[in-house]
Amino acid sequence: MKYLNIIFGSVYILGGLYALIEGAISIKGNVITSEYFVYPIGLLMIGIGLLFFYLTYKGKEIEL
């Protein structure tokens, strides 16, 4: 289960980075991928990924 936390953390961090990059190069006028919504979601996903890594470092498991 420790590896599962690392995998989830990596996926969340990569997804958050993708959301930040997508928000930076989003087409102007596109309402769905507007930078106002994409940046907080990207930062939230990176935060969740770092939380997975922190809990793995502390030795606690996340039950799904």
pLDDT 10s digits, 30-55: 555 555 667 787 888 888 888 888 88
Q: How many CB atoms lie within 10 A of CB 6?
A: 13
Higher pLDDT, residue 29 or 36:
36
pLDDT digits (tens, 9 = 90+) for 4-14: 878 888 888 88
Pair of tokens at residue 15 = 């997804």
What is the C-alpha to C-alpha distance for residues 7 and 48, in angstroms, rounded to an integer? 12
**What number of residues does the chain have?**
64
